[in-house]
Structures are given as structure tokens and as C-alpha cells.
Amino acid sequence: MNAHRGHLAEQIARRREAGVSATGEGEGDDAYPFVVDLRGVDQFHRLIRLLEQRGYRSERIEKILGKNFADYADRIWTS
């Protein structure tokens, strides 16, 4: 994880130099731009399982994963 922290710190420093970093980005040792347990090729399958375990219904999970945007894009780009 230390190698990742170093790489992340370098990226943040470059963004700050370019004037495009986010407010508060990189402040604190526990700041990550992602959820550590939800990385990799199976991340969305795992996220779905976690949401189901917390009681989310399939319709809500679809919205969380971008169904509203996909529906909107479909309507706009296929018109």
C-alpha cells in the first residue's frame, strides 16, 4: 500500500502544480479517491452483493450503477 500512497501523492502534486487539484485532495493519510475493497475487474459484482446485503432493491442498485444516466443517454443519442 505504501507504493500506492507514493504514486498517489505524486499525481496529486502534479495536479496541484497544474492548478487542477480538488479542494482537500490528498489531505490526510487516510484519503483515497476510491474504496480500497472495490478495486479490480469484479468491483461492480462485489458492490452489487454488498448493496443487496444492506437491503437495497434491484431498482435502486440499477440507479446507483448509472441506469438513470444510461436511459438519458439512450434517449438523447438515439433521437
Domain boundaries, position 6: 1-33
Rounded to an integer, the average pLDDT of 66-71 is: 88
The CA distances from residue 49 to 12, 29, 63, 75, in Å, are 32, 29, 15, 29
Query: Are residue 40 and residue 75 in the same domain, yes or no?
Result: yes
Q: What value does the CA radius of gyration of the chain take, rounded to a whole number of Å?
A: 17
For residue 60, what pLDDT band results from cuts at 50, 70 and 90? very high
Query: Are residue 49 and residue 73 in the same domain, yes or no?
Result: yes
Q: Number of structural domains, the chain?
A: 2
Rounded to an integer, the average pLDDT of 1-5 is: 70
Query: Are residue 42 and residue 68 in the same domain, yes or no?
Result: yes
pTM above 0.75, yes or no: no
Query: Are residue 40 and residue 19 in the same domain, yes or no?
Result: no
